[in-house]
Amino acid sequence: MRRLINLFALFLLSAYSGWAALTYDGIIYYKINVGGFDYAAVQRAENKNITTANIREMAYGTYVVQIGNSAFEECSSLKEVTLPSKLTTVSGKAFSGCNRLRSIALPDKVGNIGISAFASCFNLSVINLPLSLRQIDDYAFSTCRALKSVTIPDSVNKLGERAFYQCSGLTSLRLNADVTSFGNNVFEGCVNLESVTMAPIVSTIGDYAFIGCAKIDSLDLPTGLKTIGQYAFSECSGLRHLKFGYSLGIMGAHAFEKCTSLTSVVMPPYMYNCGQYVFAGCTSLDTVIFPKSSVNVSIGAHAFEGCTNLRSVTLHDNNFRIYEYAFKGCVSLPKFTIPSTVERIEASAFEGCTSLDSVTCLVEEPFAFGKDAFKNISPKCVLTVPYGKRAAYIAAGWTTDVFKGGIVELPAPEGIQAVRVDKADKGIYYDLEGREVLQPEKGRIYIRDGRKVLVK
């Protein structure tokens, strides 16, 4: 009963106080109009040394629905805040720099957290984000160093630029929202972030989203994820396990660059845009598989450059272009098979692959590869080409000047019975797998001048 009387008295006081600024308990209120209706908002603290802020439910005879811009900014002694139940908006810099504030409970009607609303609240360790929340603006929680765990509710459709920038104490993140507007650098510098869980509905991860989050060990990306922005997980040096969802189509430039603990990658089946430098500098990467798919995909420029431990790359007939420097400096790569669908290999694509001693190219109509595409590969490298295509490859520039180990043909479809002999090839011996033999051995069968012969 006493609470009802107090609320009624507050209503009467507010109703007859006019629209001039009002002050209660060291907090100044003012009137606002939202959608044609009058409401009240907090303007500012009367004194920057305020330690407790008990914000009233009502002023001017109406509900308090907003904390105004910079209302408690730099109130460095503020430790406790009670918010009104009808609050819908926490405006820009509302609590910025309140570095003694440790926790705050947002009412379940809050829909918007403004730019830098809680920025530099260094000791803020607990905050609940209500299911009504739709928008978290730029820098909203940036440098909240004590914040350890965050759950983004599924109501959120916007995460602003650097919203959780350099929250260095953050260890756990749960993203339940399908964020349609994902700002740059959202979680950049969260150097202790270990666990990231995303709901299956998440479709986009923005540019630089997790750059430098060096303690993330494992990522199972959502099945509904369609786009990963550029540099999204760059320099996540602790990342060891990576699993893509089947819907991913775009992997932005530098997306996983310098993830130096990553050992294997199975690319998503429907990816059609593999950006430049996407896995460059992943020095522990050993195995890369591009699965069979109906979607054509090119390997972007510098995509795997400097992956010094890379030993196995599997491509299929949906790969159609290998861009410049794609595998440059992959010094451990021993062999490579180029699918029949590849149309171009651009400059320096395999330059400096010093262990590359076997290249099999299944392209039926050979093309001229880009400048220095196979520069400084193994001097023992053997090129294997489709049956009957050796001369065509040599004419297109695939010569023994590049493939110093020789150029051989694959066996005929049902086993080699004869070798088509060009005029210049007469007298040359081949083994039964179609490889040129420089010194035939006695007692063995070879093919010479298009016929099988026994050397005696």
Reported as a single tens digit per residue, the pLDDT across 327-336 is 999 999 999 9
Q: What is the mean pLDDT of residues 339-359?
A: 97
Assess whether pLDDT exceeds 50 at residue 424. Answer: no
Confidence at residue 174, expressed as pLDDT on a 0 to 100 scale? 92
Q: State the pLDDT at residue 188.
A: 95
Q: Exposed/middle/buried for 159, CB within 10 Å: 0-12, 13-18, 19+?
A: buried
- Domain positions in the chain are 1-77, 418-456
Q: Residue 18's pLDDT is what? A: 44
pLDDT tens track for 119-135:
999 999 999 999 999 99
Q: What percent of the chain has pLDDT over 90?
A: 78
pLDDT in tens, 54-102: 999 999 999 999 999 999 999 999 999 999 999 999 999 999 999 999 9
Element (H, E) at 108: none
**Shortest CA distance to 256 belongs to which of 285, 295, 296, 291?**
285
Q: How many helices (H) and strands (E) does the chain have?
A: 2, 37
| Residue 427 confidence class, pLDDT cut points 50, 70, 90 | confident
- pLDDT on residue 5: 40
- Give the pLDDT confidence score for residue 15 in this predicted structure: 41
Distance between CA 376 and CA 404 in Å, rounded? 11
Residue 450 is predicted with a pLDDT of: 66
Distance between CA 161 and CA 158 in Å, rounded? Answer: 10
Residue with tokens 């090119």: 298
Sign of the CA dihedral running 157, 161, 163, 168: positive
Q: How many CB atoms lie within 10 A of CB 301?
A: 22
* Confidence bin at 230 (pLDDT 50/70/90): very high
Which tens digit of pLDDT belongs to each residue from 376-420?
999 999 999 999 999 999 999 999 999 999 999 998 866 455 444
Q: Which residue has the higher pLDDT, 166 or 18?
A: 166
Region class of 411: left (phi > 0), else alpha (psi between -120 and 50), else beta: beta
- 294 falls in which pLDDT band (50, 70, 90)? confident
pLDDT at residue 319, as a whole number:
82
pLDDT band at residue 308, thresholds of 50, 70 and 90? very high
In the β-sheet with 429-430, what is the strand arrangement from edge to edge? 436-437, 429-430, 445-448, 451-454
Which DSSP string do the residues of 348-369 spell out, in sequence order?
A: TTTTT-TT--EEEE--SS--PP
For the segment 234-241, the average pLDDT, to the nearest whole number, is: 97
Of 338-352, 364-378, 399-413, 422-436, least confident by mean pLDDT is 422-436
- The amino acid occupying position 358 is S
pTM of the predicted protein model: 0.82
Mean pLDDT of the chain: 90
pLDDT band at 14 (very low <50, low <70, confident <90, very high): very low
Per the model's pLDDT, the better-predicted residue between 451 and 39 turns out to be 39
Strands, E assignment, 294-413: 297-299, 312-314, 319-322, 335-338, 344-345, 358-361, 382-385, 406-409
Question: Helix (H, G, I), strand (E, B), or coil: what is residue 411?
Answer: coil
Residue with structure tokens 């995303």?
A: 198
What value does the mean pLDDT take over residues 316-333? 94
Give the pLDDT band (50/70/90) at residue 456: low
The span from the CA of 189 to the CA of 213, in Å, is 6
pLDDT at position 318 is: 84
